[in-house]
Structure 1
Amino acid sequence: MKKNILLAVAAVLLVVAAAYVSNNNSFSNAATTSLTTVEASHSPIVEQAEQPITPSEPKEQAIDFTLTDMDGNQVTLSDLRGKNVYINFWTTWCKWCKKEMPDIEKIHQQYKDKDLIVLAVDVGEDKEKAKPYIEDNGYSFRVLLDTDKQVTEAYQVRSIPVSLFVDKEGNIAHKKVGFMTEEEMKSAINELSP
């Protein structure tokens, strides 16, 4: 009898633990995740279709980084304080990245003289892979190379694309995992510091 009661209690505890884990798992929204995976040194990066934009509450400080652009110039995030920054994590093989890049270019053209800097962080690829893609598509926003994925890992990016909107004080005002439309980008930008 005691054995049956102990087994029933253990079963209930297992069910409660499983429910807790699945409700707190950051990848539980499988309906929006595409299953394209790449080989990565530490963890796979997957494509992310679409997920609602969410303001970071409370605002967290953006992690500082220094990356090299395709012209060999170093860019340090903290040097951009006083300007709003749109950081987009992407890669050339990602179909959702390809879909949103024309809108990122539109945003770059519309806001480049209005204290917004667009930084497209290529995840895990080198200049020989990224540069032809950018040039062939006529994109003029700044592309940074995160060849060793250190910045990607620091920001805990597990799927792409990911967009971060950093305000003039260096805080992450908005983060979106997945594809963004031009309207969503504008909405996030309009909420940044004027």
Structure 2
Amino acid sequence: MNKKKRRLAIRSIILAILIAAIAYTVYVTATKDTNQLIKVGDQAPNFVLTDLDGKKHQLADYKGQGVLLNFWGTWCPPCKEEMPALNTAYDEFKNQGVQVISINIAQSDFEVRNFVDNYKLNFPMTIDKTKSVMRTYNVDQLPATFLIDQTGKIKKILTYGITEPEFIAYMESIKP
């Protein structure tokens, strides 16, 4: 009889835990904030990030120019592959009214600086330490590139590694 009472008690506890877990999941789902999905044609959300040289980059400061936002990580193979191509395209367009803001996702300054030095990159390299910009732009896959025109509207969202000819064509499309 003692075994039956113990088994009933254990089953009751397990059932209570399952009910609590289900109730919590339903509550969280019902009360969570709904993230607005960013889509082509939307005004690009403003942000301020600091680059490796300590310079602040606020998207609103680039109004009147085309901006290519590139979200990436040092551990991401397609990100590594596209960086030299992005660097070449940046060199070609930086004096034509198209800017690049590269946004690393929450890695250390040391890791990012080593990556930049190894690849000899010369465009602004920022780090989204809190992932707030990543969340604002609904980035869930790297690399992610947003093309923003001179009015601040998103013209294209790309979630794959981009080649040099593609970067050049995309930057040409947002050139003022």
Q: What's the TM-score bracket when you normalise by the shorter of the two chains? A: 0.7 to 0.9
Could you give the per-residue CA deviations for residues 109-167 of structure 1, whole angstroms, max 9, x where no partner exists?
Answer: 11111001111100111211101110121110110110111100110000100011111
Report the CA distance between 1:75 and its aligned residue: 0.9
Q: 2:61 aligns with which of 79, 82, 93?
A: 79
Cross-structure match for 1:134: 116
Q: 1:143 aligns with which of 117, 125, 144?
A: 125
Extract unaligned runs of 5+ from structure 2: 1-37
The CA deviation at 1:189 is 2.0
2:159 equivalent in structure 1:
177
SS at 1:59 equivalent: coil
Q: TM-score of the superposition, structure 1-length normalised?
A: 0.68
Distance in 1, matches of 2:83 and 2:39, equals 27
3-state SS in 1 of match to 2:101? strand
Point out where structure 1 has 5 or more consecutive residues left out of the alignment: 1-55
Which secondary structure state, in structure 2, belongs to the residue aligned with residue 72 of structure 1? coil
SS of residue paired to 2:42: strand
Partner of 1:169: helix, strand, or coil?
coil
- Determine which structure has the larger helix proportion and give its number: 2
1:62 pairs with 2:62: no
Runs of 4+ in 1 over 4 A off after TM superposition: none
| Partners of 1:136 and 1:96 in 2: CA distance | 16
Tell me the alpha carbon deviations over residues 45-70 of structure 1, each in whole angstroms, 9 at most, x when there is no partner.
xxxxxxxxxxx976110010000100
TM-score, with normalisation over the residues of structure 2? 0.75
CA, structure 1 residues 108+58, in 2 after alignment: closer, same or farther (shift >3 Å)? closer
Secondary structure in 2 matching 1:87? strand
Percent identity between the aligned chains? Answer: 28
Q: Aligned partners of 2:64, 2:82: CA distance in 1, in Å? A: 26
Is the Cα contact below 8 Å between 2:67 and 2:174 reproduced in 1? no
Shift of 1:191: 2.1
Measured on the aligned residues, the alpha-carbon RMSD in Å equals: 1.5
Q: Which has the larger radius of gyration?
A: 2
**Higher strand content, 1 or 2:** 1
Q: 2:100 aligns with which of 89, 94, 118?
A: 118
Residue of structure 1 in register with 2:146 after alignment: 164
